[in-house]
């Protein structure tokens, strides 16, 4: 993975003014591509985990587990639903001083829909799970169209847990 130098703030602005001390050692943006095949799911999860560890990102175990589950669900969706039109996918990890953002991009034009799956079904809850993990962590998630007609689905989570008053 490489830092593509896209800056340190590809995420919605954090609450309050940023400190004026310059970027922290773990801040940056990393992007890698993978084929849209089943084997890419655990590979993406391991790559994100290893990146967070290697960069020294101050993440709790719970946050890491949430991020890895989000990556797994988003890559799985790209493999299952977009592979025909998008034989490769991209995973991006962006880390700022107060947040971490994971995103999965593919070239399929259709925006995914979070569906309520029946209890007897073994799948179909991935986007609901992503939304819930993100919400519980105090983060945000969204889907955006890309300039070349595909989409990117992302979730940004705060590095410091949100306290409920």
Q: DSSP labels for 71-129?
A: HHHHHHHHHHHTTTT-SEEEEEEEE-SSEEEEEEEES--SPP---PPPTT-SSS-HHHH
Instruction: Give the model confidence (pLDDT) of 16-30 as tens digits.
Output: 555 566 788 899 999
Instruction: Give the model confidence (pLDDT) of 148-157 as tens digits.
Output: 999 999 999 9
Q: What is the 8-class DSSP label of residue 38? A: T
Q: What is the 8-class DSSP label of residue 21? A: S
Instruction: Give the model confidence (pLDDT) of 50-106 as tens digits.
Output: 999 999 999 999 999 999 999 999 999 999 999 888 999 999 999 999 999 999 999
What pLDDT was estimated at residue 23? 83
Q: Which two tokens stand for residue 56?
A: 């020294």
Q: How confident is the model at residue 109 (pLDDT cuts 50, 70, 90)?
A: confident
Q: Which two tokens stand for residue 5?
A: 């130098």
pLDDT exceeds 70 at position 6: no
What is the pTM (predicted TM-score) of this model?
A: 0.79
Q: How confident is the model at residue 11 (pLDDT cuts 50, 70, 90)?
A: low
Assign 42 to helix, strand or coil: helix
Assign 158 to helix, strand or coil: strand
């Amino acid at each position: 993975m490489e830092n593509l130098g896209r800056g340190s703030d590809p995420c919605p602005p954090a609450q309050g003014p940023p400190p004026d001390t310059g970027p922290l050692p773990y801040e940056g943006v990393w992007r890698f591509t993978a084929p849209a095949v089943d084997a890419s799911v655990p590979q993406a999860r391991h790559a994100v985990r290893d990146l967070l560890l290697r960069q020294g990102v101050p993440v709790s175990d719970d946050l890491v587990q949430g991020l890895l589950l989000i990556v797994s669900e988003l890559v799985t969706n790209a493999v299952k639903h977009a592979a025909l039109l998008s034989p490769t996918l991209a995973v991006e990890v962006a880390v700022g001083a107060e947040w971490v953002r994971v995103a999965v991009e593919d070239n399929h034009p259709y925006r995914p829909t979070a569906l309520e799956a029946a209890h007897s079904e073994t799948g179909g809850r991935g986007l609901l799970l992503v939304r819930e993990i993100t919400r519980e962590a105090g983060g945000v998630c969204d889907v955006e169209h890309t300039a070349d007609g595909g989409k990117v689905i992302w979730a940004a989570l705060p590095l410091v847990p949100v306290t409920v008053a």
